[in-house]
């Protein structure tokens, strides 16, 4: 098939392009930038601002499948301080890409949503009940990013109901792994903790946002890509969770990073920094029913691979940093 992956310069999009190419598909990648850490394997790569409708039409032209992964996003620090800009950018991208897919007569369209669509009143306890897809309504999502994702889910559904577009809506739960952003302000918790540990010396204390008892489930990138491909082939047009259902505290995440580093490190909790909801976990009942599968990579396995990659990237950049300081 001919497939377009928007957001192909980003973390998940880059991995997805590699998977689709390995399956033998012709792939067009589209993004504002090329992948930062390794060249794209896409057959064609367009540098394009998808906030503009004409660029979306060019991206979708002649494509059988559309994976609309392009988004303005980041970790909790970024999404809690950029509500207006982030919401505007993403609404424009999603609306224009849906219309472009319709006009181009794309066969299928996958939209990646987020666990941020779920109401805060379901996520006030560390011992949270896993979130089912139906829990998103009545709505009280996270400000900005969560509202934008929920709105775009609804819009995607309208294109299915009224325009006949065959859609998939996937709710990601904390995807992490190698080749993801690990510094600069947009990184998420696993990458941020790995970076801090890689830069630390034995005996150091690294900063952890919050008291560490807030809970999450974390999904490794290989499982995310496998899940997306299975969901695309499933025929399920309703929103569906894609994440691990292994609920852990942030302190356990930090401990896994410490073990991967092989260093003796301590935590320094900062209660003034953004923390998000108190607890969040994925209910994978619909995922298992629909695909016969669920994420398989343990937190320890995933963090080991992620830490090794981030530590190697930091080691490669160290000589250049020192040289710049000398000059």
- Asked if 65 and 108 touch (Cβ cutoff 8 Å), the reply is yes
Report how far residue 43's alpha carbon sits from residue 316's, in angstroms, rounded to the nearest whole number.
Answer: 28
Structure tokens at 11: 């973390």
Compute and round to an integer the Cα radius of gyration of the chain.
19
Q: How deeply is 143 buried, as exposed, middle or buried, from its count of CB atoms within 10 A (0-12, 13-18, 19+)?
A: middle
Report how far residue 31's alpha carbon sits from residue 9's, in angstroms, rounded to the nearest whole number.
Answer: 5
> Of the candidates 220, 193, 184, 212, which has an alpha carbon nearest to the alpha carbon of residue 307?
193
- In degrees and rounded to multiples of 5, residue 224 shows phi and psi of -60, -45
Q: Which of 145, 159, 182, 220 is catalytic?
A: 145
Report how far residue 320's alpha carbon sits from residue 223's, in angstroms, rounded to the nearest whole number.
Answer: 34
Strands 248-249 and 215-216 come out as: antiparallel
> Of the candidates 205, 182, 175, which has an alpha carbon nearest to the alpha carbon of residue 308?
182
Instruction: Establish whether 78 is a catalytic residue.
Output: no
| Bridge partners for 172 per DSSP | 114, 242
- Asked if 216 and 174 touch (Cβ cutoff 8 Å), the reply is yes
DSSP 52: S
Residues tagged active-site = 145
């Amino acid at each position: 098939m001919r497939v377009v992956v928007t957001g192909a310069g980003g973390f998940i999009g880059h991995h997805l392009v590699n998977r689709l190419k390995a399956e033998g598909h012709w792939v067009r990648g589209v993004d504002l930038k090329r992948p930062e850490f390794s060249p794209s394997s896409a057959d064609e790569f367009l540098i394009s601002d998808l906030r503009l409708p004409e660029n979306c039409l060019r991206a979708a032209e002649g494509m059988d499948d559309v994976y609309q992964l392009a988004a303005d996003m980041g970790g909790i620090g970024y999404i809690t301080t950029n509500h207006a800009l982030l919401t505007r950018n993403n609404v424009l991208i999603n609306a224009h890409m849906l219309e472009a897919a319709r006009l181009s007569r794309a066969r299928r369209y996958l939209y990646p949503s987020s666990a941020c669509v779920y109401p805060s009143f379901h996520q006030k306890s560390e011992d949270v009940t896993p979130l089912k897809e139906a829990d998103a309504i009545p709505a009280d999502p996270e400000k900005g990013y969560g509202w934008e994702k929920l709105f775009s889910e609804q819009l995607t559904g309208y294109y299915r109901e009224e325009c006949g577009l065959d859609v998939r809506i996937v709710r990601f739960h904390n995807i992490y792994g190698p080749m993801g952003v690990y510094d600069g302000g947009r990184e998420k918790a696993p990458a941020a903790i790995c970076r801090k540990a890689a830069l630390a010396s034995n005996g150091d204390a690294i900063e952890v946002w919050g008291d560490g008892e807030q809970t999450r489930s974390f999904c490794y990138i290989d499982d995310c890509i496998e899940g997306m491909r299975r969901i695309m082939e499933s025929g399920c047009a309703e929103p569906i969770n894609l994440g691990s259902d292994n609920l852990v505290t942030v302190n356990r995440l930090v401990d896994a990073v410490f073990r991967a580093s092989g260093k003796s490190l301590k935590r320094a909790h900062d209660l003034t920094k953004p923390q998000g909801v108190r607890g969040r976990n994925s209910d994978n009942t619909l995922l298992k029913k629909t695909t016969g599968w669920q994420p398989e990579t343990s937190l320890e396995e995933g963090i080991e691979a992620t830490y090794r990659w981030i530590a190697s990237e930091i080691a490669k950049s160290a000589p250049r940093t020192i040289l710049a300081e000398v000059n």
